[in-house]
Amino acid sequence: MISKKLLASIVVIGILALCIGWGTYSYFNDTETSSGNIFSAGTLDLKVDGKDNPLSAYFSVSDVKPGDSGSKGIVLSNSGTLAGKAYIHFKNVVDSPGTTPEPEPTPDNGELSQNLYIKVLVDSTVKAEGYLFDIKSNSYELGTIAGGVSLTVTIEWSIPSTVGNVIMGDSVTFDIEFSLEQA
């Protein structure tokens, strides 16, 4: 019973609302149109040192020893039109024991990634830091790159002089993935 009354009330209110609507149209009105508005999709295009995939390897270093270090500067540019957030991720880290000379402790499973210290900097601000073995599980944000703008990333590596014989003959292979995501 109550619901029938409710329905009726809603219908009445609806009709009244319509009436108000009609009423509105009877006022003076003037319409101006801004035409030619265009919505087009932006672009987001990352270039690493001016290149797309496949990128060459940035590091191919042999005969490294405790106390060694080096660095590499890489230019990330957003050649698209939209701003994007840049990320770096060290991936697919594979250790290999290589040769095991007599002074190297055994068992030798390949310990270089645990002793290769990586520091990623953008304009002398540290964005990622740690042993390769530890930082491989995370993606690190490098900052926002506006469309048409570039950013220089510096990757520093070092092997602490205290490491000792444990890494002798070992090698490590890894990928460096750069990505740009819509901000």
Partner 1 sequence: MEINRKVLISLFIIGILALGIGWGTYSYFNDTETSSNNTFTAATLDLTVDGPGFSAPITLSNMKPGDTTVYYKWILKNVGSIPGKLSATFNIISDSENGETEPEASAEDEPYGYQGARSTLGDPTYGELSEFLAPGIHPDEIPADVWQYLTILERNDEEGWWIGEVSEEVDTGGSGGWGPSGWSVPSIVISQWAVGPYAYGHYYGLKSWNGQTFVYGTLAPSAEIAFFFRVSLKGNLQAWDGCGWHDINDNVIQGDSVTFTITFTLEQIP
Q: Which residues bind partner 1 (CB under 8 A)?
A: 42-48, 51-67, 80, 82, 84, 91-92, 98-99, 101-104, 112, 116, 157, 159, 161, 165, 167-182
Nearer to partner 1, 154 or 171 (CB): 171
| DSSP structure class, residue 142 | E
In whole angstroms, how close is the CB of 6 to partner 1 at the nearest point?
23
Burial of 141 from C-beta contacts in 10 A (0-12 / 13-18 / 19+): middle
CA 159/CA 67 separation, integer angstroms: 5
Nearer to partner 1, 116 or 122 (CB): 116
Lookup result for tokens 């995370």: 138
Nearer to partner 1, 123 or 175 (CB): 175
Nearer to partner 1, 82 or 146 (CB): 82
In whole angstroms, how close is the CB of 143 to partner 1 at the nearest point?
16
Sign for the CA dihedral angle at 12, 13, 17, 20 comes to: positive
